[in-house]
Amino acid sequence: MDFKNYNPPALKSLIPVLENVPSDLLPWIAEKHIKYLDDRIHKIVKLTDYLANCDPVERERKEFIAFIENWTKKDNADLLDYTKEYQGRYTSIRNKVESQCETIMKNASIWNSNDTLKNFWKDFAYVNEVDSLFGMFLTSGRWYVNAMLPVVKTLIYTTLPNDLKGNERNETSYLVARRVITPRYTTVPKGYNHSCERRFANSFIPMLQYYDRKLLFLFEILSKYNYFPSMTLNDLVTDIIYNKKEYSNVLMQGIYPPFAWHEFIASQKPRKESLTFEAAKKRLEKNLDENYRQDFETALGLLDVFKEYELNYNNYNYKGKFGLVSKVFYYKTYQRIRDDKKEEFLNAILLDGFYEALEIINNNLI
């Protein structure tokens, strides 16, 4: 079966975007974006707690959780239908983000008055807070659900011991999926069979390792570019400004190399050979009940699809277009904020505190 029709929208070249960003602003953008990425690691607890309790998107958050949870609990769920519905949701919010990026880069009227800017920021905060839910539900085990839970649950269902049947098989596969993917939010009943969990986790880890390496494809791409020990982030920014053609391959994939600065440095070091998909699959299917072969193959194909969504989200939001356009927007907004509130605004927005930033904007524009 060809699963490509279920993939996320392809990323577009960044070259046209860069042509509309002032060159003298790019060093500032790169510096602030790397700080943003570092803070997402070092302040992840604060970030997730903020998003988990953000009142303006409470309804959307609860509905999204229920959507994934209901599909995960279903017995014999149609994973293709689930993925199609997820694709529609993902594409819808991406289109809204893209529309706002277009407005930021091409519609000067949003800067005509403070009221106009505030109104746009209100919409911007809402859309991107909802978009952040997609990011957390794709990439974090720190949340109550993960978008790939229904897929993982089916993989478990097809590989459980054949003496587990009916409701018991469905309930066990649900609990094991929650324990493996979202352990922080999972409690198990008395008598829960931990051996099923251990058996699946041991066979599933190689597959996760395979996809972890696949998600780090930037290492391979960036290793082809020149690097010298004294090189700085600003050197890379400048090199791209004057040698854009040399970087066209990665830019056309929707990735801005300075946003992958840490990967750029690490790419110069030798790396171990990655596990092949075939080897990982062999480990996973060793416990397969052949009666469920078709369900297993479908789930495995859709696991690849959801990892494509994770890669797509990371590259668009953290390594590509949204990182560029949003920093242009933040910089121009920063210039309109009272001096004594500028740093507070940056601290809020560089940790995706969209509504915290909005409150500062609403009360402190000059």
**Model confidence pLDDT, tens digit, residues 97-152:** 999 999 999 999 999 999 999 999 999 999 999 999 999 898 766 678 899 999 99
pLDDT for 274: 72
pLDDT for 315: 94
Q: In this structure, how many other beta carbons lie within 10 angstroms of the beta carbon of residue 44?
A: 13
CB–CB of 94/100 below 8 Å? no
pLDDT for 142: 65
DSSP annotation of 268 reads T
Query: Residue 275's pLDDT band (boundaries 50, 70, 90)?
Result: confident
pLDDT for 179: 93
Question: Can you tell me the mean pLDDT for 43-57?
Answer: 84
Residue 279 has pLDDT above 90, yes or no: yes
Mean pLDDT lowest for which of 55-59, 164-168, 185-189, 258-262? 185-189
Mean pLDDT lowest for which of 40-49, 160-169, 183-192, 233-242? 40-49
Tokens of 314: 């990371």
Taking alpha carbons only, the member of 154, 200, 160, 197 closest to residue 175 is 197
Give the global pTM: 0.93
Q: In this structure, how many other beta carbons lie within 10 angstroms of the beta carbon of residue 114?
A: 13
Segment of 5-9, 193-197, 260-264, 276-280 carrying the highest mean pLDDT: 5-9
Tokens of 80: 């293709």
Alpha-carbon distance 252 to 264, whole Å?
A: 17
∠ CA 192-193-194, rounded to 5°: 105
- Helices 114-139 and 321-334 cross at an angle (nearest 10°) of 150
Helices (H), the chain: 15-18, 26-42, 44-52, 58-73, 79-106, 114-139, 149-159, 166-181, 194-215, 218-222, 233-242, 248-252, 261-266, 277-284, 293-313, 321-334, 342-349, 354-364
Phi first, then psi: give them for residue 289, nearest 5 degrees: -85, 115
pLDDT for 226: 72
Alpha-carbon distance 312 to 147, whole Å?
A: 14
Alpha-carbon distance 241 to 340, whole Å?
A: 33
Taking alpha carbons only, the member of 141, 265, 276, 274 closest to residue 213 is 274
pLDDT for 265: 78
Residue 252 has pLDDT above 90, yes or no: yes
